[in-house]
Amino acid sequence: MKPTARTRLALACGAVFLVIGSLLLMGVYLLVRNSLEPRDGLGRPAYIGMPNGVYEANSPEYYVAVRRVEQVRRTYQRDTLSTLLTAGGAGLAGGTAIALWYGWWVGGWALRPVQQVTETARRVAQSHNLTERIAYTGPRDEVAELADVFDTMLTRLARAFDGQRRFVANASHELRTPLTINRTLVDVAVRRPDATDDLKRLGESLLLVNTRHERLIDGLLALAEGEQAVLDRRAFDLSDVVEHVLDQAGAEAAERSVTVHRLLDSVTTAGDPVLLERLVQNLVENAIRHNHEGGEVWVTTRQRADVAELVVANTGLPVPPYEIETIFEPFRRLHGDRLRSERGSGLGLSIVRAIADAHDGTITARPREEGGLTITTELPHPTPP
């Protein structure tokens, strides 16, 4: 784990003080040691050896006095230097500790505006609320410049997302209108009394193509909506949504002779119920349509320690492990023909992943040994107030 900027600043202050203090202590030690060395002339004063002197230069008393002075000097030198090192080392250790504390305090004071920027960015990332701003009011320094740049970026992102939503809404409306007109015109032409068999077959083919285009547009719109942030997170029982989707899919499952097994435990999650209903619907429809006659589908909801889990498994053709990740890509189909409209537009699992990501959830798929897939969706529990 890398140290934080505050920790690095505290360590830097402590290291600087320790180095400078050590150099000063070494300098004082050498200065004091040099001051306590013997000086020329002190070992033999001028009055030693003079005719009227007290001691003769070569007398035994003189040598005893010289040795005594040297012994006293060395003792004082050793004790003084030892005391200097002990006191200086203690002072150096205490000063280093104070420098560490001061560096930690200064780091917290200096980085407090940066923490404000970080907390705001984290709230925006978690809530997807692009309307929030840092609105830094401190001194106009580098931190203020960073906060202003971040606020400008949020403003541009909000404007870009709003423009994207308006474009998707307008484009879906403009695309649906001509398709609706085409369906009406073709239906009227096919139902005319004088319509020939060739015209009716052509009309039925055009209606199938038109229906596929409508489904494609719906899928693109759902994918765009699923990639948007979920601002309103309401708590609800996921099993109720799954139960409702399975009831609606019962007719299609019976038509394809697919047996659906339900194991639904009550489990609470938070998010947009409409989007999560689309997630469950896509998973169930995918499990039914990509199955064989007489196949089976297992749908399970259960609660784990920190997530609400939805598992949809189905029989079907074997899926190679290396193809697992690609099935979540838009317009990706396995074992399918791009012209077969009843198999969908290839956006189902892309929409599922987009919706799961918008709800801070995860989705994983793994192939079954008997054929088919097991897709597990994990959604977070509601955050307590």
Within 10 angstroms of residue 318's Cβ, the number of other Cβ atoms is 14
Within 10 angstroms of residue 325's Cβ, the number of other Cβ atoms is 11
Dig out the tokens for 245 from the structure: 């989707």
Hey, where are the domains in the chain? 5-126, 128-229, 232-380
Dig out the tokens for 270 from the structure: 């938070």
With beta carbons less than 8 A apart as the criterion, state whether 264 and 242 touch.
yes
What pLDDT does 341 receive?
42
Rounded Cα gap, residues 156 and 150, in angstroms: 10
Rounded Cα gap, residues 366 and 324, in angstroms: 7
Distance of CA 197 to the CA centre of its chain: 61
Rounded Cα gap, residues 293 and 304, in angstroms: 34
Rounded Cα gap, residues 217 and 207, in angstroms: 15
Rounded Cα gap, residues 25 and 15, in angstroms: 15
Q: Would you say the C-alpha torsion 199, 204, 208, 211 has a positive or negative sign?
A: positive
Q: Residue 199 forms beta bridges with which residues? A: none
What pLDDT does 52 receive?
52
pLDDT band with cut points at 50, 70 and 90 for residue 26: very high
Pairing of strands 307-314, 268-271: unpaired
* Helices assigned H by DSSP within the chain: 5-35, 60-127, 142-190, 197-226, 238-255, 273-289, 348-358
36, 44, 72, 88, 230 from 75: Cα distances, Å? 11, 20, 5, 20, 82
Reported as a single tens digit per residue, the pLDDT across 278-330 is 889 889 998 998 888 899 999 999 988 788 999 999 998 888 888 887 787 76
Rounded Cα gap, residues 162 and 172, in angstroms: 15
Mean pLDDT of 35-44: 67
User: What is the 3-class SS of 270-308, one letter each residue?
Assistant: EECHHHHHHHHHHHHHHHHHCCCCCCEEEEEEEECCCEE
Query: pTM of the entire structure?
Result: 0.53
Rounded Cα gap, residues 144 and 138, in angstroms: 7
What pLDDT does 355 receive?
84
List the CATH code of the domain at 232-380: 3.30.565.10
pLDDT band with cut points at 50, 70 and 90 for residue 261: very high
Domain 128-229 sits in CATH 1.10.287: yes
**Residue type present at position 273:** P
What pLDDT does 271 receive?
83
With beta carbons less than 8 A apart as the criterion, state whether 292 and 317 touch.
yes
Reported as a single tens digit per residue, the pLDDT across 181-234 is 888 888 888 888 888 888 888 888 888 888 777 766 776 666 666 555 555 678
pLDDT band with cut points at 50, 70 and 90 for residue 383: low
Residue 236 has pLDDT above 60, yes or no: yes
Percent of the residues in the chain that have a pLDDT greater than 70, as a whole number? 82
Reported as a single tens digit per residue, the pLDDT across 329-349 is 765 655 554 434 455 556 778
Higher-confidence position of 291 and 141:
291
248: helix, coil or strand? helix
Mean pLDDT of 97-106: 90
